């Protein structure tokens, strides 16, 4: 019998990366739908793909702020975003496994945006991390675990 075969009560039940990716997609689709609805008139009036790109570049900061607010509030209040709730996973403090504090949720929300800005390297990092922590998990001292 190997050491890995023993039950470890102090180790969290880490969420699979596939479910984390699905949760990410759900959350981004929801936020994107909200922005498409809000910007439908200027998008439909655009004459070219360049005009649409310019419009989206003009609201990028608002989209980033919306993502930060969305993720901060849901993780702080519920321990999970809507995507994570749908995938039956949650964010937990890396030490106590309890729901993250507001400061931790805010830190995670900000660095989630940073993780995506640098060619998604912050998310790719989780593929090679033994605790599946992305950059935003590391900076906020959180883990994503099964609910």
- pLDDT over 50 at 120, yes or no: yes
> Average pLDDT of 69-93?
98
Place of tokens 């075969």: 5
Question: Model-level pTM?
Answer: 0.87
- CA count, 13 A, side-chain hemisphere, 110: 7
* Alpha carbon 70 to chain centroid, angstroms: 10
> Average pLDDT of 83-93?
98
What pLDDT, in 10s, does the model give residues 98-113?
Answer: 999 999 999 999 999 9
- pLDDT over 90 at 71, yes or no: yes
pLDDT recorded at residue 78: 98
Q: Which domain holds residue 94?
A: 14-146
- pLDDT over 60 at 3, yes or no: no
- pLDDT over 70 at 4, yes or no: no
- pLDDT over 70 at 116, yes or no: yes
In a domain, 124, yes or no: yes
How buried is residue 141: exposed, middle or buried, by Cβ count under 10 Å (0-12/13-18/19+)?
Answer: middle
Domains in the chain, number: 1
**1 band by pLDDT with thresholds 50, 70 and 90:** very low
Four-residue CA torsion sign, 25, 26, 29, 35: negative
In a domain, 73, yes or no: yes
In a domain, 57, yes or no: yes
> What percent of the chain has a predicted confidence (pLDDT) above 90?
90
In a domain, 138, yes or no: yes
Q: How many residues belong to the chain?
A: 147
In a domain, 7, yes or no: no
> Average pLDDT of 7-36?
90
**8 band by pLDDT with thresholds 50, 70 and 90:** low
Alpha-carbon span 18 to 140, nearest angstrom: 21
In a domain, 4, yes or no: no
In a domain, 114, yes or no: yes
């Amino acid at each position: 019998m190997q050491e890995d075969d023993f039950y470890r009560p102090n180790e969290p039940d880490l969420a699979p990366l596939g479910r984390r990716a699905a949760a990410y997609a759900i959350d981004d689709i929801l936020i994107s739908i909200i922005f498409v609805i809000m910007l439908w008139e200027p998008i439909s009036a655009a004459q070219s793909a360049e005009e649409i790109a310019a419009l989206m570049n003009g609201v990028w900061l608002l989209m980033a702020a919306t993502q930060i607010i969305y993720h901060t509030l849901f993780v702080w209040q519920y321990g999970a975003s809507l995507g994570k709730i749908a995938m039956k996973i949650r964010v937990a403090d890396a030490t106590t496994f309890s729901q993250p504090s507001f400061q931790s949720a805010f830190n995670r929300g900000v660095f989630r945006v940073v993780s995506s800005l640098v060619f998604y390297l912050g998310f790719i990092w989780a593929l090679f991390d033994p605790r599946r922590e992305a950059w935003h998990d590391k900076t906020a001292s959180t883990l994503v675990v099964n609910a």
